[in-house]
Structure 1
Amino acid sequence: MPLDYVQSFLTRRPGWVVAAWLGLAAAVGFASPSLTRLAAEGQSKLLGPEAESRRAADLVRKAWPKQAYEATAVLALHRPSGLTDADRAFASRVQGRFERGDRPKEVVRVLGPDSDREIAGRLVSADGTLCLVVVPFDTSYVAPSAQKAVAWLQDEADALRRADAGQIGGLELRWTGDAVIGRDYMAQVQTSLDRAAAATVALLLVVLLVVYRSIWLAMVPLLTIGLSLVIARGLLAWLCRAGWEVSPLVELFLVALLFGTGTDFCLFLSWRFAEHYNERNPAGVMRLTLGRSLVPLVTSAGTIVVGLLLMGTTKFKLFSTTGPSVALGLAISLAATLTLAPALLVLLARYRPKAFRGFAAPSGDLWDRAGRVAMSRPLRSWGLALLAMMPLAVLGTQTRFVMDLLSEMPRTTESGETLRLVASRFDPGMMAPLTVVLESDADLRRSEGLALIDDVSRLLSHQRRLTEVRSATQPLGSPEPLARARLSSRLGEVNDGFRQLADGAGTLNRGLTEGAAKLRAALWLGRRVGLNVGGALGAATGSGAGSPSSPAARAMASGLGKAAAAGMARGGAPPWDLANYARAFDLLSPAGPPAGPGAPVAAAAAAAPAGSADPSVRRAGGSTPAEGPPPTAAAGTGPAEVLLAEITRAADGADQIAKGARRAHREVSAILEDPVGRRALDRLLITPQNIDENPDLRKSFGVYITDDGHRARIDVTQGDRVFSDSAMNQVEVLRRRLREYLGEYEGIDVRASIAGANAESADVRLLTHDDQVKSWFVVPIGVFLVLLLALRDPWACFNLVATMVLTYLFALGATHLLFVTILGAEGLDWKVPYFLFVLLVAVGVDYNVFLMARLHEETARHGFRGGIVRAIGQTGGLISSAAAITACSFASFLSSPLASLRQLGFALVVGITVDALLVRPLLVPCGHWLLRRSREVLGPGQPALARSDRLLSRVPD
């Protein structure tokens, strides 16, 4: 058989096998590119194009290329006593140096004291102690190119400071911005990797020396996994060149997982080799060992590989790229365990047989006693173990997770300290503003589009924790410049017009009423005493009140003028016959029709529209004398009666105007004074006149609206600092409210999306939450199926998966207790639950597979209860040693400067330890016994279990 041939070749030609692995590792290690650099580039591409923040960022880059950027580096010039003139001049020189033609291509522009006055003013703190020079980049904040650009800026600034040291002594030059923070974060990731590699090797060497009691035996797993790691890193680097995506955490997990689980594989193999060690025939013993170990090793590694590959089903690339990459490395380590490690052990047995003397078959007395105690009362043992784990497991279900890059880094990090300094002097969110992009098929430059932009801008302005909103309709961050263009302001001016109209019409009504009364009295007196009314009126008008120059005439002329103006303002003929009124007045005057500009009625008639349909109106206003009698005068009616009728009619019309104007004034005032009315009228109506009155408005259109008018942007400054959990919460609130508001907006179909650093972080958090929920189902199901293929016992597989999930919750609760409850952290880092779940569920299978494989072997010979006791005793030392090795590999995370890796390392150590000391010797075997007993009582299921026993016990002792 091919497998027998391979085993025979490994044991007969071990030197060739070792030489082949050494040559392959050397070739791959020297010829492959740097995985560290490629992984750093992958960190900047964690979000796919389907994320809203990425789509919005692409829209901004295409529509406003001069304003678009992805990250910023900020130089903060700080003097606690206050900036001097020399400091400000130095800041100008720094800006000029950064704007040189040989600057890095990643630099988009430079903002500083020499920028526009409005921008320059915003870059100086109110207390005058801090001045900023902001340099936007067109690349991600963690990209290697951004790190090089930051280094160039720092070198240039340091060179200027050395040149001006005598003038700016005491001035602090401090760096921050998301590009600088990203650079520091990536540096700490690399530090974590270096420390983890050194700590893992050191800790493993100590544990292996304790277990193997021989430096030569201890070097077997270290050399096996070391060569596997070199080959895996090289292959991944070449795959990256071909399009494979990785993240910086890949290297970290490669080191931890390969040295942890890979060493466990080697330990399991060497342990089984030591059980039947024969100094005279090591090759034969190795062939027997490989036959016994192949199924458990492949099953154990298969469950881990499947669990890691299932991470590839997630959407977030930090998870989807890390899992398959580590799975590839684990597959290589499994191949090395089944080929290189046996060859090394055979060579060691040939040339250093003394190394195996201290590593004989281990004593199982301690674990035998533990197995007997556990199985003496399996239900009680199972219940006590479950009771001990439940409190922390329940706490694990209530853990709060946070995503805050700054809280993850040490507080002494310079970029973080500078950011806190800037946040204390400026708006905390000014370092990472949001951009709301509006897309519509309509032209947003028209009045309805501008009204929409203004409505959205004001909606955002009313949100809590937003300090500034700038858009095409409020480019300075305030809607006040366009206050007169709002409907409420326009209606207020109309309301003032109604008030003035009511006052004028009332005055006209009173004047006309008084004049009519005097005329009526004169006519009555004429009829009674026979006086000549026309003469009387003529005398009155010539020398008294009726004279065109008299106060009464002037008052009447003014009233008539107001009446004519009011009538013309309504767009039609006045309510009285103005032409006949003028002719009657002219006939009453002894001097005939008055001429000249002082004639009040002629002036009023002349105010009639030129296009009036009434020819008498045109004649009254023209220079040709009127011909014929007044059209409204009845036969036999004198001029005085005609005048009286017209005056009375005019008075009635003036009274109607006054009443209507007062009614309109009351209604409009009620609308404007009511809060509901004010909100309803708080809309913008921009006309060409408004644009002419505000030249800056036309300029802002070019900045915030595209030339085709189909896209507009709104810049938003948050009140919370960049990367904070509250800032990301606000992004989600803004997205939800924009969707609701625009979904009900009438007249224009528009879509909104948000770009910015906090928007990207919000998308990452949303994706990771969805991925985590998915992993809670996908990973256990995948592990269950792999176990089912090996054990052929669904209930036993369910027992194993359920205990691993319980271990996960227990470890999560213990981590929360330490870091949140005791140490006072805001919550556990967002990456901890995902990686902890996948790694514990996948890695924990190792111990369970080792136990179940031995359990089925022993139960075939010693019965069910006795077989369980012997399986616990025989695997106790092996699993404890393997757990110690894996725990040490993950304990190296505790040396990381990043809080997330320290939390993850602690959680993994707790989970692996409790799995090895409590779950494996108590919960798993006792739960297996309880499930078996329940099935025996129910009846069916015995044949399937027997088949499982025969499958895993087919290799005889």
Structure 2
Amino acid sequence: MVNKWLHGLAKIKWLIVIIWIAAAVTAWFTLPDLGQIVRQTEWRFIPKDAASAQAQQILDSMNPDHQSKSNAIIVLNRDGGLTEQDQTWLKNKISEMNSDQDTLGITGVISQFDDPSLADKFVSQDHTTELLVIELPKEVQVADTADSIVKLKELMKDVPQGASVDFTGSAPIYIDYSHSAEEGLRKTEILTVILVIVILLIVFRSPIAPFVPLLTIGASFIITRGIVALLTKLGLPVSTFTETFLIAVMFGAGTDYCILLIHRFREELSQNSDRVLALIQTVKSVGRTILYAGSTVFIAFFLIGFAKFGLYQSAAGVAVGIAITLLAAVTLAPAIMLILGPAMFWPVKLKQGNGHRDSKVWGGMNKLATKRPAIVLLVCLVILAPITLLFQGNRSFDDLGEMNQDASAVKGFRTVEAKFSSGEVLPVTAVLTSATSMRSAESIAAFEKVSSDIGKLPHVKEVRSAARPLGKQITELTVPSQLEQTTKAITDIRSGVSQLGDGLKKAQTDINQNVDNITQLQQNADLIANKMKETQQGLNQIRGGLGQSSQGAQQLAGAASQLEQTSNSMNNDLNELMQNYPDLAKDSLYLGIIAKSQGIAGGLTQTKQGLQGLNQGISQIAPSVGQISDGLGQLATGQTQIASGVGELKKGIAQFSSGLGEGTAAITKMSDGLGQIADAQQGIVTNGSKQIAGWYLPSNMLSDNQELQKAVDTYISQDGKIAKLEIVFDINPYSKEAMDSIPIIQSAIKQSVQGTVLQELDVKMSGNTATYTELKEISANDFIYTGGLMLAGIFIILIILLRSIVMPLYLLLSLAFNYLVTMGILEFIFVRMLGSEGLSWSVSFFLFLILIALGVDYNIFLMSRFKEEYQLGQGGVKDALSKSMRTTGGVITSAAFIMAGTFAALMPSGVTTLLQLGAGIVIGLFIYSTVMMGLVIPSITIWFGEANWWPLRPNKLKNNNDSKKIPTIAEHQLHT
């Protein structure tokens, strides 16, 4: 089967090369860009059912109109203090941002100029630093967010001379972290290629041979990169680790597999000049080894896909790379080898029968382990076991520590940390949900209690809530403040009461002084009533006299009328007489009589008229006199009543005077009591305000106070069922202490609301610190779960390959022990020697994955050869192990050296995680490929002896010699 396939491959070798090259070119130009996808992927990969992810979803629904999904904090700094020119420049920039929000891709700018009361939040106490908060509409990983940051940096580049501007906050930190990772990845790619070329040149001493693995792995890498990017559309997670591991593992493992092929091919060519036959023998010899070795790596990375944590799952893309690398190793690499033939080793000329010498170093270690297996094993354990105790599991979640410390996001963060607090950049948000509305005075008062309680916890700088929108108590609503106001009011009341008491005392004195006057008034009223009665009687008499006078006047008027008539008649007679006797007109006596008669007549007429007028006047006066008389009667009655009323008034005044006396005494006591209350409250306000946690919000203030209403709208949803508290730490939000505070804060909130209207709250935490707190637990649980799956998968493959249960067990135990030793050394170097808080949090998992997956390859190289030598040889375990170590030891050393070299290329990347990971793999592979495989595993193998093949019996293993069908695998020492 193998022969036919290889003969067919020889006929189409050029077509195979062309197909692979065409596939690589097509993938490069048509498949998605993995790097671009990684840049737009959130690196923490929080599961959607995680509490912090749910909290963020609730926050997003709290105010749908608020479109901010991330932010940038602009840090303006001048060491000597910000100048007026700086302030003017900053105001102008804010105006430009507000007018060009759509162009810049921002939703808002928050600064001290919006509200003078916020000055201490945006300007440092030494006035050297000022902050602007830019709200962005998209998440940090979205390309539009990166574009907005670029535009903002362009806008702010003309900073006044002597000042500096840095960008920090969630978006700039993510962007600068991604840039650092990308730069590190580019360095890793270049260094890896250079390192592989140098190692291959040293190993093969030929400028042509290195092109076989380079072309094979290069084409595989390009195709893999495109396929993995395509698989992301089907849900495959990716991260910066995906690209990093693709480079390191594919170039490391792929080079190892190609070296096995090339070395075996060179040896076969030295035995047989027919390149096709040489290739057939090569594939039969090492093909199975490469298949099993690649399978263990594939299984390890494939099973990572079953992890719950997305960042761990992102390493599953390496399984795709290993599968494609294996396919290229049995198709493309053989095709290139057939095309080049002996020329690939130029300028070295192959000689017939030119084999490889055994490894003296591995032969020496074999003799030592074979001769004293128990002692060698004990010594190794005594030396290595204490090193495992150095591994304390200290982990760091500080993204800023991962980055280039000259990055703007880091410098800005450090400035804020020094001038304000590091917690200002990345506060934690407690998300509170309730079945009932929390937009009430009672709820706000409960939020004040919660804010006060949380603010007393260690490492908490301040708490911002609906009750404390600026992170501080609203002074007017505190009990000390209200006591002070009440004291002032009581003092004012006391003053008024005292004045009232004084007035009442004066009124009582005046009333007492006027009691005698009231008595005299009563007497006068009685006297007036009597006089009015007498006057009434006189008027009644006058009224009677007037009646008689009227009758007399009427009689006189009648008499006067008769006299007038008589006088007139007499005058007529006299006139007739004078007419009869004209001479009488000359008689003076007669004329005198006529004149007197006429005078009497005229007088009578006037008398009559006067009497008539008198009678008329009397007629008019009489009723008035009657009315006056009646009125005087009524007045007399009224005056009598007045006198009686005055008497009653006198009694009432006496009673009132008595009551005033009692009231004055009561008011005096009240005044004294109010004075004591005021003095007591003033003492509380002055001496005990710090011990008073009371807080009171009048219900009308919630609707009347615009500032408080604004705070409620900011921190409580419109339906009142969602509220938030922003907690600002006074320590690094990435620190262990900050993460340890998250469950404490969550528990404290639940306890604080007990006994209030909010006691049925559900509390979830959001923010970077809360996220990493969950990551700490999620990653630890996934480590155990996926690590167990990986070990189980590799254990099954080893059982199938070695036909044994015993050997796979101690091989995996040796790998686990080697991991603990490596972690102990790594933690000692970076934590105890270099002073880091801990190893980067993902290093422990990925180091375990790689050391186990790749370490198993070297076990397969050695133990598969050991099995075959045992099956073919006439000796026992010692002879088979000795020969396998001498013949494969060099291959293992070279393969480990190449693998360690590719991961060592991660160390200059500038990313702390990659530095620690690269260092760990170099240390782990060195220890495992020397001490563990050279001394510990041989000692254990010798110690178990024939039991290595349990549950099979050794004779049955030899009788089932499948090496008769496939020629012996012959790995040869690499000449360096």
TM-score range, shorter chain: 0.7 to 0.9
Query: 1:173 offset after TM fit, Å?
Result: 2.8
How many angstroms apart in 1 are the aligned matches of 2:345 and 2:204?
13
How many angstroms apart in 1 are the aligned matches of 2:167 and 2:772?
22
How many angstroms apart in 1 are the aligned matches of 2:955 and 2:102?
72
Structure 1 residue identity aligned to 2:373 = P
Check if 1:196 corresponds to 2:195: no
Query: 1:948 offset after TM fit, Å?
Result: 8.9
Counterpart contact for 1:470–1:715, Cα < 8 Å? yes
C-alpha distance 449-302 of structure 1, shift in aligned 2 (>3 A): same
Deviates more, 1:436-445 or 1:108-117: 108-117
Check if 1:412 corresponds to 2:435: no
Query: 1:932 offset after TM fit, Å?
Result: 3.6
Query: 1:350 offset after TM fit, Å?
Result: 5.7
Q: SS at the partner of 2:711?
A: helix
Residue 59 of structure 2 is matched in structure 1 by: 60
C-alpha distance 791-798 of structure 1, shift in aligned 2 (>3 A): same
Residue 207 of structure 1 is matched in structure 2 by: 199
Q: SS at the partner of 2:154?
A: helix
Residue 313 of structure 2 is matched in structure 1 by: 320
Structure 1 residue identity aligned to 2:165 = L
Structure 1 residue identity aligned to 2:924 = G
Check if 1:715 corresponds to 2:750: no
Q: SS at the partner of 2:327?
A: helix
Query: 1:69 offset after TM fit, Å?
Result: 3.4
Residue 275 of structure 2 is matched in structure 1 by: 282
How many angstroms apart in 2 are the aligned matches of 1:451 and 1:952?
82
Query: 1:129 offset after TM fit, Å?
Result: 2.0
1:322-357 C-alpha deviation (Å, 9 max, x unpaired): x21111111100111111122222222265575573
How many angstroms apart in 1 are the aligned matches of 2:230 and 2:473?
56
C-alpha distance 393-946 of structure 1, shift in aligned 2 (>3 A): farther
Structure 2 residue identity aligned to 1:317 = G
Check if 1:175 corresponds to 2:185: no
Counterpart contact for 1:91–1:112, Cα < 8 Å? no
1:881-925 C-alpha deviation (Å, 9 max, x unpaired): 101110110010111111221111011001111111111122122
Check if 1:898 corresponds to 2:914: no
How many angstroms apart in 1 are the aligned matches of 2:484 and 2:306?
59
C-alpha distance 369-471 of structure 1, shift in aligned 2 (>3 A): closer
Counterpart contact for 1:436–1:713, Cα < 8 Å? yes
Deviates more, 1:236-245 or 1:809-818: 236-245
Correspondence for 1:392 among 381, 387, 396: 387
Counterpart contact for 1:429–1:722, Cα < 8 Å? yes
Query: 1:691 offset after TM fit, Å?
Result: 5.3
TM-score computed with the length of structure 1 as normaliser? 0.78
Correspondence for 1:781 among 781, 785, 792: 792
Deviates more, 1:838-847 or 1:702-711: 702-711
Counterpart contact for 1:44–1:143, Cα < 8 Å? no
Residue 291 of structure 1 is matched in structure 2 by: 284
Residue 633 of structure 1 is matched in structure 2 by: none
Query: 1:418 offset after TM fit, Å?
Result: 2.7
Residue 825 of structure 2 is matched in structure 1 by: 814
How many angstroms apart in 2 are the aligned matches of 1:30 and 1:787?
40
Counterpart contact for 1:896–1:902, Cα < 8 Å? yes
Residue 810 of structure 2 is matched in structure 1 by: 799
1:609-629 C-alpha deviation (Å, 9 max, x unpaired): xxxxxxxxxxxxxxxxxxxxx
C-alpha distance 935-30 of structure 1, shift in aligned 2 (>3 A): closer
C-alpha distance 855-742 of structure 1, shift in aligned 2 (>3 A): farther
1:573-606 C-alpha deviation (Å, 9 max, x unpaired): xxxxxxxxxxxxxxxx99445588x77659979x
Structure 2 residue identity aligned to 1:855 = F
C-alpha distance 68-726 of structure 1, shift in aligned 2 (>3 A): farther
C-alpha distance 231-753 of structure 1, shift in aligned 2 (>3 A): same
Structure 1 residue identity aligned to 2:951 = G
C-alpha distance 926-27 of structure 1, shift in aligned 2 (>3 A): same
Structure 2 residue identity aligned to 1:305 = F
C-alpha distance 360-19 of structure 1, shift in aligned 2 (>3 A): farther
Residue 177 of structure 2 is matched in structure 1 by: 185
C-alpha distance 875-104 of structure 1, shift in aligned 2 (>3 A): farther
Structure 1 residue identity aligned to 2:699 = T
How many angstroms apart in 2 are the aligned matches of 1:53 and 1:592?
84
Structure 2 residue identity aligned to 1:476 = L
Matches within 5 A, 1:279-428: 279-321=272-314, 323-349=315-341, 351-352=343-344, 357=350, 360-396=355-391, 398-428=392-422
Matches within 5 A, 1:470-869: 470-483=464-477, 542=515, 591-592=647-648, 601=656, 682=694, 684=696, 686-688=698-700, 692=704, 694-739=705-750, 741=752, 748-860=759-871, 861=873, 862-869=875-882
C-alpha distance 748-333 of structure 1, shift in aligned 2 (>3 A): same
Residue 943 of structure 1 is matched in structure 2 by: 953
How many angstroms apart in 2 are the aligned matches of 1:217 and 1:250?
29
Q: SS at the partner of 1:43?
A: coil
Residue 146 of structure 1 is matched in structure 2 by: 145
Q: SS at the partner of 2:209?
A: helix
Counterpart contact for 2:166–2:411, Cα < 8 Å? no
How many angstroms apart in 2 are the aligned matches of 1:899 and 1:411?
11
Correspondence for 2:427 among 424, 433, 450: 433
Query: 1:260 offset after TM fit, Å?
Result: 0.5
Query: 1:306 offset after TM fit, Å?
Result: 1.5
Structure 1 residue identity aligned to 2:182 = Q
Matches within 5 A, 1:116-135: 116-120=115-119, 122-135=121-134
| Gap regions ≥5 residues in structure 1 | 162-167, 512-537, 548-588, 606-642
Correspondence for 1:877 among 890, 895, 905: 890
How many angstroms apart in 2 are the aligned matches of 1:33 and 1:320?
20
Query: 1:422 offset after TM fit, Å?
Result: 2.4
1:538-590 C-alpha deviation (Å, 9 max, x unpaired): 9999579x99xxxxxxxxxxxxxxxxxxxxxxxxxxxxxxxxxxxxxxxxx99
Counterpart contact for 2:395–2:838, Cα < 8 Å? yes
1:718-775 C-alpha deviation (Å, 9 max, x unpaired): 2123434433333343234334555886764211222223333333333223222334
How many angstroms apart in 2 are the aligned matches of 1:145 and 1:690?
40
How many angstroms apart in 2 are the aligned matches of 1:875 and 1:150?
55
Structure 2 residue identity aligned to 1:931 = F
Check if 1:465 corresponds to 2:459: yes
How many angstroms apart in 2 are the aligned matches of 1:740 and 1:803?
49
Query: 1:799 offset after TM fit, Å?
Result: 0.7
Counterpart contact for 1:42–1:248, Cα < 8 Å? no
Counterpart contact for 1:92–1:113, Cα < 8 Å? no
Query: 1:229 offset after TM fit, Å?
Result: 0.3
Matches within 5 A, 1:909-924: 909-924=922-937
Counterpart contact for 1:110–1:135, Cα < 8 Å? yes
How many angstroms apart in 2 are the aligned matches of 1:777 and 1:38?
30
Query: 1:40 offset after TM fit, Å?
Result: 0.9
Residue 25 of structure 1 is matched in structure 2 by: 24
Q: How many residues align?
A: 827
C-alpha distance 695-28 of structure 1, shift in aligned 2 (>3 A): closer
How many angstroms apart in 1 are the aligned matches of 2:689 and 2:425?
38
How many angstroms apart in 1 are the aligned matches of 2:109 and 2:147?
17
